[in-house]
Structure 1
Amino acid sequence: MKRIRTKEIILYVLGILFCKVEIADCYPLIPAYFTALYISMESRWLTLGACFVGMACFLPVTQLTKYGVAMAGIILIIHLIEWVDKNCRARYAAVTAGAVTTLISLGGNLLSVKGRGYITTSILEGIFIFAVVSLGCRVLHMLLHGKEIMEIAKEEDRKEQRLLNYAESFNGLSEAFVKMSAGQEKASEEEIGQVQNEITGKICVSCDMCQVCWEKDSPIYGLFGSLMESIEKFGRAEKEYEDRLRDCCPYADDITREAVRIFERMKVNAAWYNRLLSNREMIAQQLDAMAFIMEDCAKDYEDLTLQEKNMLSQVRFLAKDRGFLISNIHLYQKQNGRLQLVTTVRTKAGCQPVKEYREAVSRGMGKTMIQHKDSRNLIGIEPCKIVFEEDTKYHTIHGVARLTKDEAVVSGDNFSFLELENGQDILCLSDGMGSGIDACKESETVIELMEKFLEAGFSKETAIRMMNSAMVIRGEEDIFSTIDMAAVDLYEGEAEFYKVGAAATFIRRKEGVECLLSTSLPVGVSYKMEIDGVKKQLEDGDFLVMVSDGVLEYLHVDEPEETMGEIIESLDTNNPGRLAKGILERVMLYTGGKVMDDMTVLTAGIWEK
């Protein structure tokens, strides 16, 4: 604030000194500088006082009267404009200053005997004033607010470092889980020794030959080892070893039964232990994902506030020119190279639509910007946060058609259309195994988790893995779901496809239909999963078609994907909703009107804006 106060005092002093500047018997800098200062400064009456002090000190009475009347007229018209439009733009003020001064000059010289040269002089003075006001408003804005943008970006480094510290902590936790021992498929020598000690303590301890039998060079010792291996491998003793043991030991049957019981118990314990280790590995994956998202948040946005301070000053000036006061402004470049502008803004008076503010932002940045989908539509005198994104090149329209299995209450298929802040349009389809309420709940959980992870900023692969880990830990047997996801980059038109146990996806192009297949297992089967990721470039007018298993399985043809491609190509429509409905209608012809499984068709058309 002290710096701004100092600058204001300097500007007022300049206003006094400019009153001495004479050009061709005129003082055009007086109305020009006054007008620029009047609409740029909050202390308007100080501006008026400074200029009148300068005129009183340096101007003759006739010129003092002329420019005093001109300033009064300028003030009156500016206030009228602000009363009508709540704000006076720089160009309106420039026209006002030039026109009023010219008219007063012409009117004051009508009775003069100077000849006709005063007309040209008056017009040139008005043009000069217009140019000085237009330029002066921008210069004054830079002088008053240019340093503020540099101060705004200073706190960003501290926030980034905190996130990186958090990420490092999560990475450390993940490494601690990974270092834990992995599960064992076979019993170790130590465990075999424990089995021997348990059998000895329970059965052999009362036998006189106990010490002799369990010597390492004893034939029974080797035979016992072979017997343990067969029990571990087959779950029972092989007859050959069992008969040989009977020939050597009167307690062979008791030893065999006890060994089988101990190994069954060990198998159960090993299963639980391996499950625990699997859960540890999944937790490690989730910790890695958390660390990744924190690092991503710290580095995802490159702060360009300092590098582009001139452009941001231009944005602030144009916004102020339309009656919007920006108190905080940040410019970021995201990982995809697109710009994001974050501002805190209010109006000078009353409410104004965001549309006018967006026009000022777009003009200042030299490219089309759109406000975030959650932004408000009106801006008032209370400061509010408005986020702008660089506008996308493409846009999509979605369509859906679905049928529920005959005699089923609800569909086991669930889907989602989601547009992310990074300009990606997400289509997600999940088919719960079976049908009915259980399948619906399972696929609904999958869709909800995917939406939350993606909205939180996780990458598609990380979101799928974390969701799969959650479903595995949930541990409900024989209830699995598929994931079919398409992510369309609306800036470049590139689409990424991720399929986990899902049916084929189709791309309808102008030259034909392309089919994408997958052979991976559904979600929740194993924490070690394969994710099929494929990238395809889309063009203006292309269509995506995603279907659940029930649509293809009951076509009753040898090559259902080929038949579906023919169906899609035969439908002559550019309406995604009609395309989805038409596909289901054709499929019903193949099934004889019966819906033997839940059927869902998602479609999306992509067009250039």
Structure 2
Amino acid sequence: MGWAFYDVTVEHVLARYLVLVFAFVGGAAIGSTVGVVTGLILSLASVASLYQMSLLAFAGLLGGLLKEGKRVGVGLGLLVGTLLIGLYGDGGSALSVTLLESLFAILVFFLTPKGFVYYLARYIPGTAEYSKEQQQYLRKIRDITAGRVEQFSTLFQTLSNSFQASDRVSTEEDEEREMDYLLSNVTEKTCQTCFKKERCWVKNFSKTYDSMQRMMVEMEHQGEIKDQVLMAEWKRHCIKPDKVIHAIDQEQQQFQANQKLKKQVMESRKLVADQLLGVSRVMGDFAKEIQREKEAYYYQEEQMVDALRTVGMEVGHIDIFSLEKGHTEIEMSVAYQGEGHCEKIIAPMISDLLKETIIVKKEESGFYPNGYSHVSFASAKQFIVNTGVSHVAKGGAWVSGDSYSTIELDTGKYAIAISDGMGNGERAHLESNETLQLLQKVLQSGIEETVAIKSVNSVLSLRTTDEVFSTLDLAMIDLQNAQTRFLKIGSIPSFIKRGDRIIKIEASNLPMGVFQEFDVDVVNEQLKPGDLLIMMSDGIYDAPKQIENKEMWMKRMITELNTDNPQDIADLILERIIRQGQGDIEDDMTVIVAKVEQNTPKWSAIPLYKSPHLFRKQTQKAAFS
């Protein structure tokens, strides 16, 4: 027998108190579970106490269900459970004692400090305090990660600045110093052993120095000394003119080789500096993205959970990373209820809540131990791009010197690119294809397109001394507003068909690989739904040899097309060009047609007639009072 006071068993009081606390903190599931386990422990001491398990389990269930009524509701659940189990369990003989035990347990429960209950809730899975504790830990990890990434970003920025600082512009003093260095090398090889050294460099220093300097300048610009007057004066002045001129020629060649090597080193440093700066910006943006996740959306998350659960959706938790219009990012755990459930029901409901079209970005079934799926939602793009491509190699060969690429980037932009390698055949194909591969990798890393093109150009110009060039025609379409940036590097014009109107897009830039450093001329154009963007290589544009005004001819041909299907337009343009040339294909030909269309959501929003208003809820800690 345990401790007792006027027939009130202390262990029964403590058991019911334990059930009350856990039912209040964890709800019906935790309360009933603790009741069953506590009842089993009591039954091990005495088989007569077996009915206590039913009382505790039932009291834990009722108390958890009534926890919204705070402590009074949980205590009422214990009293109801005690009455029902007491009446139908041992009968009415011991009901007064059982009720008294429950009342003592409720009294102790009411006297329990709020801090103790809040502290206990932090360690029970499923409670708001437990989730908050986990979120605080995750936020701490995010802060540390963001700080480290920011440090690396600053490091790369510093390295970039150090490389750029070394690229100082040559001054007149530097040029004079280099000239003196060249002259000293020449005199060391010729004048040091001459018996008339004192006459030339002591008595006639100015004349000797000026004559040698003029000869060096003449040889640098002309490759040889063509000024006969200067040559005659030098022969009268020096007793070994040919030896000195030969020494100047050798030093000049070595100097030019060193200057060329120095220039390549400086250009390589500039390339490395640009790359480091680009990486620094990407890492800086990544750190900002991590920090942006710290924005507090707790109340919106709670309201969204309540709204979805109200209509019967089994939602575990919701994490909102961004509510910026057009860039919404939401993740949640949800019970699997069939294929397409999230796409057809949950996403349209969220669309109604946010007044914005939301789609399923990624869904992983059975991601969590309880069988729930992990679903990512994001803003739907306002525009979509459909493309059609038609191309042929010179003379109908298998390998074309033109390469093309269409890719949707993670930044919400759609890239269309055509590259034309110099010449035809396999080498031109390798050049154009490598240009696009480099560009694609750099763009996918998040680096801005202008910096990406400069980086690719630097790589192409530095990797070989051969004169191998390639053109690049790039269009970057923003899928949120259809704003388009055209970057044309040595490429021919593009055209936009808007109804009966034809808009020409052109820019003046040299091909890639000609110069290590150049400015990219960017053309901005606002596209509209239904617009057709037509990009082509020079093999298409320059094909009609007998036509003087190729631009007007191309515009008229595009206007006469009676279809708006991108693939049909590409095929018709290529066919017309080949027919115009009597079937002769004199160059590689590529044409890409892109149609910009308004994105129509597959599923319309499902209205929630009790949509929550944004308001600040009480914290769970305050709810314990």
Both structures adopt the same fold (TM-score exceeding 0.5): yes
2:497 matched residue in structure 1: 508
When residues 533 and 250 of structure 1 are mapped into structure 2, their CA distance, relative to the original with a 3 A threshold, is same
Q: Does 2:386 match 1:397?
A: yes
Instruction: Identify the match of residue 273 of structure 2 among 242, 263, 284.
Output: 284
1:11-69 Cα distance to aligned partner (Å, 9 max, x none): 569x99xxxxxxxxxxxxxx9x979967999xxxxx9999575254389989xxxxxxx
Structure 1's 239 and 495: CA in aligned 2 closer, same or farther, altered over 3 A?
same
User: Partner letter of residue 260 of structure 2?
Assistant: A
Judge conservation of contact 2:26–2:64 (CA < 8 Å) in 1: no
8 Å Cα contact 1:424-1:489 kept in structure 2: yes
RMSD: 3.8
The change in CA–CA distance for 1:59 and 1:144 in structure 2 (over 3 A counts) is farther
- The answer to whether the 8 A contact 1:342-1:388 is kept is yes
Q: Is the 8 A contact 2:335 2:373 kept in 1?
A: no
Q: CA deviation at 1:359?
A: 4.7
Q: Work out the CA distance in 1 between the residues paired with 2:585 and 2:434.
A: 24
Contact 1:347–1:380 (CA under 8 A) maintained in structure 2: no
SS of 1:600 mapped into structure 2:
strand
SS of alignment partner, residue 232 of structure 2: helix
Q: Which of the residues 567, 579, 587 maps onto 1:577?
A: 567
* Structure 1 residue identity aligned to 2:179: I
Q: Which residue of 2 aligns with 1:388?
A: 377
SS of the residue aligned with 1:395? strand
CA contact (8 A) 1:174 1:285 kept: yes
1:166 matched to 2:157? The reply is no
* Alpha-carbon contact 1:505-1:545 (below 8 Å) kept: yes
Q: Which residue of structure 1 aligns with residue 219 of structure 2?
A: 231
With over 3 angstroms needed to count, the CA separation of the structure-2 counterparts of 1:491 and 1:34, relative to structure 1, is farther
Q: Which residue of structure 2 lines up, in the alignment, with residue 518 of structure 1? A: 507
Task: Provide the C-alpha distance between the structure 1 equivalents of 2:293 and 2:185, rounded to a whole number of angstroms.
Answer: 71
Report the Cα offset of residue 268 of structure 1: 0.9
For residues 209-608 of structure 1, the aligned pairs below 5 Å read 209-215=196-202, 217-218=204-205, 219-237=207-225, 238-300=227-289, 303=292, 306-317=295-306, 321-326=312-317, 329-332=319-322, 338-343=327-332, 345=333, 347=335, 354-355=342-343, 358-359=347-348, 361-362=350-351, 365-372=354-361, 375-376=362-363, 378-382=365-369, 386-406=375-395, 408-556=397-545, 557-608=547-598
How far the C-alpha of 1:370 sits from its partner, in A, is 2.0
SS at match of 1:528: coil
What's the counterpart of residue 203 of structure 1? 190
**Aligned-residue offset at 1:308:** 2.7
| Structure 2 CA distance for partners of 1:50 and 1:291, relative to 1, 3 Å | same
Q: In 2, distance between residues paired with 1:301 and 1:561?
A: 49
Q: 1:287: Cα distance to partner? A: 0.9
C-alpha separation in 2, matches of 1:163 and 1:398: 38
- Measure, in 2, the Cα distance between the counterparts of 1:599 and 1:504: 14
Query: Residues 330 and 341 of structure 1 are in contact (CA less than 8 Å); yes or no, is this contact kept in structure 2?
Result: yes
Q: Sort the Cα spacing of 1:294 and 1:306 in 2 relative to 1 into closer, same or farther, 3 A.
A: closer
Aligned-residue offset at 1:365: 4.2
Displacement of 1:604 after TM fit?
A: 0.9
User: Which one-letter code corresponds to 1:502 in the other structure?
Assistant: S
- Secondary structure, in 3 states, of the residue corresponding to 1:406? helix
Instruction: Give per-residue Cα distances to partners, 1:160-187, cap 9 Å, x unaligned.
Output: 3222211111111111111114475988
Change (3 A) 1:574 1:349: closer
Q: What's 1:194 paired with?
A: 181
Q: Which residue of 1 aligns with 2:163?
A: 177
Would the alpha carbon gap of residues 594 and 50 (structure 1) be closer, same or farther in structure 2, given more than 3 Å must change?
farther
Q: CA deviation at 1:362?
A: 4.1
Unaligned runs of 5+ in 2: 1-19, 33-57, 89-125, 601-625
Letter of the structure 2 residue corresponding to residue 440 of structure 1: H
Tell me if structure 1 keeps the 8 A contact 2:27–2:65.
no
TM-aligned CA distance change 1:40 to 1:265, over 3 Å: farther
Query: What do the CA deviations read for 1:436-490 (whole angstroms, capped 9, x no partner)?
Result: 1111111111111222122221121122122222222222522121121112222
5 Å-filtered alignment, 1:54-65, equals 54-57=80-83
CA distance in 2, matches of 1:519, 1:483: 12
Change (3 A) 1:506 1:349: closer
So what's the TM-score if we normalise by structure 2? 0.72
- Cα deviation for residue 522 of structure 1 reads 1.4
Distance in 2 between residues matched to 1:5 and 1:492, nearest whole Å = 55
Return 142-151 or 384-393, whichever deviates more. 142-151
TM-score normalised by L of structure 1: 0.73
> 1:505 Cα deviation (Å)?
1.0
Q: 1:440 & 1:287 partners in 2: Cα distance? A: 30
Aligned residues between the structures:
503
Q: Is the Cα contact below 8 Å between 2:393 and 2:589 reproduced in 1?
A: yes
Q: Residues 198 and 403 (structure 1 numbering): CA distance in 2 closer, same or farther, change over 3 Å? A: same
Structure 1 contact 472–527 (Cα < 8 Å) conserved: yes
Q: Is the 8 A contact 2:297 2:320 kept in 1?
A: no
Q: Compute the displacement of 1:193 (Å).
A: 2.7
Q: How many angstroms apart in 2 are the aligned matches of 1:358 and 1:501?
A: 45
When residues 176 and 296 of structure 1 are mapped into structure 2, their CA distance, relative to the original with a 3 A threshold, is: same
For the residues of structure 2 that align with 1:389 and 1:167, how far apart are their CA atoms?
A: 28
Query: Residues 482 and 522 of structure 1 are in contact (CA less than 8 Å); yes or no, is this contact kept in structure 2?
Result: yes
**Residue 278 of structure 1, CA deviation:** 1.0
CA shift for structure 1 position 563: 1.5
Distance 1:377 1:246 in 2: 89
- Secondary structure of 1:515's counterpart equals strand
Equivalent residue, structure 2, for 1:156: 142
- Does the C-alpha gap of structure 1 residues 228 and 261 become closer, same or farther in structure 2, counting only changes over 3 Å? same
Q: Deviations over 1:362-407 (max 9, x none)?
A: 45545322233xx346445557754322012222211011111116
Please tell me whether the aligned partners of residues 494 and 506 of structure 2 are also in contact (alpha carbons under 8 angstroms).
Answer: yes
> Residue deviations 1:256-287, cap 9 Å, x none?
11111110111111111111111111111111
Query: 1:352·1:379 contact (CA, 8 Å) conserved in 2?
Result: no
For residues 323-372 of structure 1, the C-alpha deviation after alignment (integer angstroms, 9 at most, x for no partner) is: 4534x7241257x85212245x3647998855355456545545322233
Deviation of residue 149 (structure 1)? 8.9
Q: Tell whether the 8 Å contact from 2:326 to 2:381 is kept in structure 1 after alignment.
A: no
- Rounded to whole Å, the distance in 1 between the matches of 2:538 and 2:404 is 14
Report the CA distance shift for 1:144/1:274 in structure 2 as closer, same or farther (over 3 A).
closer
Q: In the alignment, is the contact (CA less than 8 A) between 1:235 and 1:264 conserved in 2? A: no
Q: How many angstroms apart in 2 are the aligned matches of 1:407 and 1:249?
A: 68
Change (3 A) 1:220 1:477: same
Report the CA distance shift for 1:58/1:493 in structure 2 as closer, same or farther (over 3 A): same
In structure 2, distance between residues paired with 1:179 and 1:551: 45
SS in 2 for 1:458: coil
* 8 A Cα contact 1:508 1:514, kept in partner: yes
Identity of aligned residues (%): 24
Q: CA deviation at 1:504?
A: 0.9
For residue 202 of structure 2, give the secondary structure of its aligned residue in structure 1. coil
Which residue identity is paired with 1:495?
T
Mean CA deviation greater in 210-219 or 181-190: 181-190
Amino acid at match of 1:208: F
